[in-house]
């Protein structure tokens, strides 16, 4: 392993300090950085395509949003991602700053623990034409704006009618994303080793419409069947698209996965307790 990409949260001084420490500790390694981070460090910038093609390890210096950005940048390449938490929560960026150099050493020696996370792919179809295709690590969200009326979301699984969610929106979350927006909307926590999709209606009109966990290998389809304005599709919180009546969203398990380097001192339930205070009395 000779080439490492450093993906940092913009304007984070601590990220620049860590990057310099990495380079000082490993002067023979080739470190690739994006434009904004290169400017901050005074290093040579690497374009997204070259970074994606050459990186053998990605080190994320930031929070979960930065890690999602890194996963999107890789576009399915099975490159391990070491997330160093410089954010406020850091649920996926498991490694604290104090352990960053030690964990990097374990990766370079081939001794790191790596977990494989499921992704979803989605396709937005309008008038028979595909207008958007993408992949997500966390979630796909259909939601209205603050002043828009609730909408009807006709949902199908593998050709079988599930329900028409009359709600502010619907969240389709991976197990990784089950602890994000879906959890805030009343969805369950799902262990990341379980391949499934959590379907969570947002503020449903009927109390009988509850979140449901469905198999990941069966395609989901949701169609907007009511005439409303200001309804949006958001992909991993980073890409948005306005929706129209009749738009159809197709969601399925992606063949690509994201490889995340584990914190050797903390298992998944320890992360739940540490980050979410889960199961505390």
pLDDT band of residue 90 (cuts 50, 70, 90) is: confident
- Taking the CA atoms of residue 34, residue 38, residue 44 and residue 48 in that order, the dihedral angle to the nearest 10 degrees is 10
Distances (CA, A) of 177 to 104, 181, 273: 25, 7, 17
What is the dihedral sign for C-alpha 28, 34, 39, 40? negative
Backbone angles phi, psi at 261, to 5 degrees: -75, 130
Structural contact between residues 80 and 260, judged by C-beta atoms closer than 8 angstroms: yes
* Domain segments of the chain as ranges: 3-113+262-276, 119-256
pLDDT in tens, 36-66: 999 999 999 999 999 999 999 999 999 999 9
What does the pLDDT read at residue 229?
Answer: 83
Report the alpha-carbon distance of residue 275 to residue 269 in Å, rounded: 10
123-146 mean pLDDT: 95
Half-sphere exposure in the Cβ direction for 119 (13 Å, CA): 23
Is the pLDDT confidence value at 149 over 90? Answer: no
What does the pLDDT read at residue 128?
Answer: 95
What does the pLDDT read at residue 110?
Answer: 93
pTM of the model: 0.94
What rounded mean pLDDT belongs to the chain? 95
* Percent of the chain predicted with pLDDT > 90: 90
23-34 mean pLDDT: 97
Is the pLDDT confidence value at 148 over 80? Answer: no
Distance of CA 257 to the CA centre of its chain: 11
Residue 232 corresponds to which tokens in the numbers above?
A: 């949006």
What does the pLDDT read at residue 272?
Answer: 94
What does the pLDDT read at residue 247?
Answer: 96
Look-up of token digits 């950085």: 33
Report the alpha-carbon distance of residue 93 to residue 261 in Å, rounded: 9
Identify any residues that bridge with 181 across adjacent strands, giving them in sequence order: none
Pairing outcome for strands 231-235 and 139-144:
antiparallel
What does the pLDDT read at residue 147?
Answer: 74
Identify any residues that bridge with 196 across adjacent strands, giving them in sequence order: 215
Backbone angles phi, psi at 28, to 5 degrees: -85, -10
**Active-site hit among 13, 30, 64, 152:** 64
* Percent of the chain predicted with pLDDT > 70: 100
pLDDT in tens, 236-281: 999 899 999 999 999 999 999 999 999 999 999 999 998 899 988 8
What does the pLDDT read at residue 51?
Answer: 96
Residue 28 corresponds to which tokens in the numbers above?
A: 């023979």
What does the pLDDT read at residue 146?
Answer: 76
Instruction: Determine the CATH number of domain 119-256.
Output: 2.60.200.30
What does the pLDDT read at residue 145?
Answer: 84
205-209 mean pLDDT: 92
Helix (H, G, I), strand (E, B) or coil at 230: coil
- CB within 8 A of 139, min separation 6: which ones? 171, 172, 173, 174, 177, 180, 181, 182, 236, 237
2-9 mean pLDDT: 97
Is the pLDDT confidence value at 88 over 80? Answer: no
Instruction: Determine the CATH number of domain 3-113+262-276.
Output: 3.40.50.10330
- CB within 8 A of 159, min separation 6: which ones? none
Q: Would you call 30 a catalytic residue per the annotation?
A: no
Number of H helices and E strands in the chain, helices first, is: 7, 16
Least confident of 19-23, 29-33, 112-116, 148-152: 148-152
What does the pLDDT read at residue 156?
Answer: 98
7-11 mean pLDDT: 94
What does the pLDDT read at residue 227?
Answer: 84
Is the pLDDT confidence value at 179 over 90? Answer: yes
């Amino acid at each position: 392993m000779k080439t490492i990409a450093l993906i940092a949260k913009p304007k984070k001084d601590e990220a620049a300090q860590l990057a310099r420490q990495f380079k000082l500790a490993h002067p023979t390694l080739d470190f690739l950085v994006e434009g904004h981070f290169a400017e901050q460090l005074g290093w040579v910038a690497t374009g997204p395509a070259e970074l994606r093609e050459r990186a053998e390890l990605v080190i994320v210096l930031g929070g979960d949003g930065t890690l999602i950005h890194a996963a999107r940048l890789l576009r399915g390449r099975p490159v391990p991602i070491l997330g160093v938490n410089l954010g406020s929560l850091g649920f996926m960026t498991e490694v604290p700053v104090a352990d960053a150099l030690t964990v990097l050493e374990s990766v370079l020696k081939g001794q790191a623990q790596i977990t494989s996370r499921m992704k979803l792919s989605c396709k937005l179809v309008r008038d028979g034409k595909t207008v958007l295709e993408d992949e997500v690590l966390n979630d796909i969200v259909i939601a209205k704006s603050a002043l828009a009326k609730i909408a009807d979301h006709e949902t199908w699984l593998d050709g079988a009618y599930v329900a028409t969610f009359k709600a502010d929106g619907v969240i389709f979350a991976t197990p990784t994303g089950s602890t994000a927006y879906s959890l805030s909307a009343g969805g369950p926590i799902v262990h990341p080793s379980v391949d499934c999709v959590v379907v969570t209606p947002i503020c449903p009109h009927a109390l009988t419409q509850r979140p449901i966990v469905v198999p990941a290998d069966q395609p989901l389809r949701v169609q907007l069947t009511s005439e409303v304005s200001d309804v949006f599709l958001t992909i991993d919180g980073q890409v948005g698209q306005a929706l129209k009546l009749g738009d159809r969203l197709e969601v399925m398990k992606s063949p690509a996965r994201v490889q995340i380097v584990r914190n050797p001192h903390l298992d998944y339930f320890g992360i739940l307790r540490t980050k979410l205070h889960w199961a505390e009395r």
